[in-house]
Chain A
Amino acid sequence: MNTWRLDTWLTYRPEDFLMFSEPVYWQMIQTHNALFWPAHILTMLAGLGVLVVLGNPAGFARFRPGLLIAGPLAASWMLAGFGFLGLSYASINWAAEWLIPLFVFQGVLILLGRTDFGVGVPSGIAAVLGFGLLAYALAGYPLLAPLAGRPVAAAEVFGVAPDPTVIGTLGVLLIARSSLKRRTAPLSLALAISIVWCGVSWITLDTMNTWESWSPAVAALVALIGWSLPNAVSTGGTPKASRSGRAADRPAAR
């Protein structure tokens, strides 16, 4: 008699794995926010800083724009991993602890791929989609809680909660990709990890029957569309620094 049987596992549905109720989930987020306040101000400012640098990398050329982008982004993943997953989410979902290494790995990956960020002026549809996702993560996502009738104290903020952090990352990755000649391995892997989280979040929210479940799903879809578009490398305003030395990754010079 086998303990593990495929035919048994095939009978499971997502709701069989949901071990908390919707009110408890939102309450957990509110409690987490109270625990980390006022870190939200810093993480929001960091996110805005990333947005500004991405919009004008040449203006920050002497400040190593890649690091200015990758640093806060990597820190946000670490904070969401150790903070949200480890300290709060794990209190109602023991499986959350299994995902902490993924968030740490993503943070390291973003740092390793820092030279792929802020390479040139973003352009093309991918950049537009990227800026849209990043702006939504920073300014739109926190509004979902009050729009759904929950207190502002339960808002999910970039850098503190995983969903806006991941959606913002998707935006950053699209923007970075728009200024590169080809998709690099670190960015591709970072995109894949972000998409995986969007899937986890979508299934969780959808199983709870919350209308916000569309948010990570649409973000992932937008990111995949933007990622698959042909490259539209900009040549204007390219920072002179090219620390990676990989000519193929840089915008084409005219």
Chain B
Amino acid sequence: MTKHRSKPVSRRTLLAGSAGAALTALLPKAGWTDQTTTPSLRTIPSSGARIPAVGLGSWITFNVGDSPVLRAQCAEVMDAFFKAGGKMIDSSPMYGSAQSVIGDGLRALGRTDTVFSADKVWISDTDDGPDQIADSRALWQVPKFDLLQVHNLVGWEGHLRTLFEMKQSGHLSCVGLTTSHGRRHQDLAEIMAREPIDFVQLTYNVRDRAAADRLLPLAQDRGIAVIVNRPFRRGGLTQPLEGQPLPDWAGEVGADTWAQLLLKFILAHPAVTTAIPATTKPHHAVENLAASTGPVLDADLSRRLISQVESLT
């Protein structure tokens, strides 16, 4: 597996180089810099710590290889995200160059100590887990991870032992497990019921609602924080809705876009701690965070949104 150990990019380099020029050129047009958002915070049950209800995913969007221009654009997204009050960024060794892109961005932006770093361990041989985690931490350039999750339950028993030991020794704050696309809910439920994990990550959105049947209530019962991935089905929800008129009640809940409505649907579930939409656009990062503010969708509006989205997608 390729280790993306590109040279660290300082803020000065970003702004002085061609990549920085491209980044700087975008700033006046973007408009997000004028917006101020105070995202709502949600509590991690096991620790009592509070984090913004919207984080930043990195699957596909931050896997940009070695291109300085694209890496600078990712740093711009992160900059907008942090300035709008964002904290949690999620990644994985499976995401290609995303970890190193995040690490370079954090370093350039001076955010290595303030980010809520959520990464994963993803390797079938659990004996190799510690080495992979060490590699990941070096790529992120953070002192330690706030959250490490067993990616897609691969080797979960062995990796959980490693992660619990790291937490016990103070080298890790939180331990979690992930699944996506609605896969392996039964297995995840069994693990949630018996292991003292802090987080689960799963797919839940207006079209994929299976998690609400069992996993989300179980997370509430067990005091497990929930990270929601694929809030937009990787664009599969937002793209068909482009150009479609918003419901007439959207303004009442403070939603200006379909993306914000989709996020509000997710955040309406009391078990959800944070959703992690991924984006390549700084103003989308700000817009996503803003979705956590304002009124929460009630059960009736959630039902109406489901009905409307299902008729349009």
A91 to B61, CA, bound (A): 14
Complex interface: chain B residues within 8 A of A97 (CB): 1-2
Judging by beta carbons under 8 Å apart, are A8 and B184 in contact? yes
Judging by beta carbons under 8 Å apart, are A21 and B61 in contact? yes
The smallest C-beta distance from B42 to any residue of chain A, in angstroms, reads: 29
Complex interface: chain A residues within 8 A of B1 (CB): 94, 97
A116 to B53, CA, bound (A): 65
A108 to B65, CA, bound (A): 30
The smallest C-beta distance from A28 to any residue of chain B, in angstroms, reads: 5
Q: In residues 35-75 of chain B, which contact A (Cβ within 8 Å)?
A: 59-61, 63-67, 69-70
The smallest C-beta distance from A16 to any residue of chain B, in angstroms, reads: 7
Chain A contact patch, size range: 20 to 34
Question: Is A24 located at the chain interface by the 8 A CB criterion?
Answer: yes
Question: Is B161 located at the chain interface by the 8 A CB criterion?
Answer: no
Q: In residues 67-95 of chain B, which contact A (Cβ within 8 Å)?
A: 67, 69-70, 94-95
Q: In residues 146-171 of chain B, which contact A (Cβ within 8 Å)?
A: 153-156
Q: In residues 19-52 of chain A, which contact B (Cβ within 8 Å)?
A: 19-21, 24, 27-28, 31
Judging by beta carbons under 8 Å apart, are A19 and B154 in contact? no
Complex interface: chain A residues within 8 A of B70 (CB): 24, 27
Complex interface: chain B residues within 8 A of A94 (CB): 1-2, 96
The smallest C-beta distance from B19 to any residue of chain A, in angstroms, reads: 12
Question: Is A90 located at the chain interface by the 8 A CB criterion?
Answer: yes
Complex interface: chain B residues within 8 A of A90 (CB): 2
The smallest C-beta distance from B5 to any residue of chain A, in angstroms, reads: 11
Judging by beta carbons under 8 Å apart, are A91 and B65 in contact? yes
A50 to B82, CA, bound (A): 56
A209 to B181, CA, bound (A): 21
Question: Is B303 located at the chain interface by the 8 A CB criterion?
Answer: no
Knowing A3-B155, A3-B156, A27-B65 are in contact, say whether A19-B183 is a contact too (CB < 8 A): no
Judging by beta carbons under 8 Å apart, are B65 and A92 in contact? yes
The smallest C-beta distance from B280 to any residue of chain A, in angstroms, reads: 8
The smallest C-beta distance from B118 to any residue of chain A, in angstroms, reads: 18
Judging by beta carbons under 8 Å apart, are B184 and A20 in contact? no
Judging by beta carbons under 8 Å apart, are B64 and A24 in contact? yes
Selected from A1, A5, A18, A31, the residue in CB contact (under 8 A) with B65 is: A31
Question: Is A235 located at the chain interface by the 8 A CB criterion?
Answer: no
A28 to B190, CA, bound (A): 42
A229 to B65, CA, bound (A): 43
Q: Report the count of interface residues on B (CB-CB < 8 A).
A: 30
Question: Is A201 located at the chain interface by the 8 A CB criterion?
Answer: no
Knowing A19-B96, A91-B4 are in contact, say whether A24-B181 is a contact too (CB < 8 A): no
Selected from B66, B95, B234, the residue in CB contact (under 8 A) with A31 is: B66
The smallest C-beta distance from A99 to any residue of chain B, in angstroms, reads: 13
**B97 and chain A: residue at smallest CB distance:** A91
A15 to B198, CA, bound (A): 30
A3 to B160, CA, bound (A): 14
A28 to B4, CA, bound (A): 15
Judging by beta carbons under 8 Å apart, are B181 and A3 in contact? no
Judging by beta carbons under 8 Å apart, are B2 and A3 in contact? no
Judging by beta carbons under 8 Å apart, are A20 and B155 in contact? no
Question: Is A56 located at the chain interface by the 8 A CB criterion?
Answer: no
- Over the window 1-20 of chain A, the binary record of Cβ atoms lying under 8 Å from chain B Cβ atoms (1 yes, 0 no) is 10101001001000110111
- Over the window 124-157 of chain B, the binary record of Cβ atoms lying under 8 Å from chain A Cβ atoms (1 yes, 0 no) is 1000000000000000000000000000011110
A36 to B2, CA, bound (A): 20
Selected from A5, A11, A18, A91, the residue in CB contact (under 8 A) with B181 is: A11
The smallest C-beta distance from A19 to any residue of chain B, in angstroms, reads: 5
Judging by beta carbons under 8 Å apart, are B96 and A93 in contact? yes
Question: Is B300 located at the chain interface by the 8 A CB criterion?
Answer: no
Judging by beta carbons under 8 Å apart, are A3 and B190 in contact? no
Selected from A3, A16, A20, the residue in CB contact (under 8 A) with B63 is: A20
Q: In residues 265-313 of chain B, which contact A (Cβ within 8 Å)?
A: 280
Knowing A1-B187, A94-B2 are in contact, say whether A19-B59 is a contact too (CB < 8 A): yes
The smallest C-beta distance from B191 to any residue of chain A, in angstroms, reads: 8
Complex interface: chain A residues within 8 A of B155 (CB): 3
**A86 and chain B: residue at smallest CB distance:** B2
**A91 and chain B: residue at smallest CB distance:** B65
**A28 and chain B: residue at smallest CB distance:** B65
A99 to B60, CA, bound (A): 21
Knowing A19-B59, A24-B63, A31-B65 are in contact, say whether A92-B124 is a contact too (CB < 8 A): no
Complex interface: chain A residues within 8 A of B67 (CB): 24, 27-28, 31
Taking each of A11, A19, A91, which has the highest tally of chain B beta carbons within 10 Å of its own beta carbon? Answer: A91
Per CB-CB distance, the 8 closest pairs between chain A and chain B, nearest first, are A91-B65, A92-B65, A90-B2, A94-B1, A20-B63, A92-B96, A91-B66, A28-B65
Question: Can you report 6 A-B residue pairs in the complex whose CB atoms are below 8 A from each other?
Answer: A20-B60, A20-B64, A24-B70, A91-B65, A94-B1, A97-B1
Given contacts A1-B187, A3-B124, A21-B60, 12 further A-B contacts (CB under 8 A): A3-B156, A11-B181, A11-B183, A19-B95, A20-B60, A21-B280, A24-B63, A27-B64, A91-B4, A91-B66, A91-B97, A92-B97
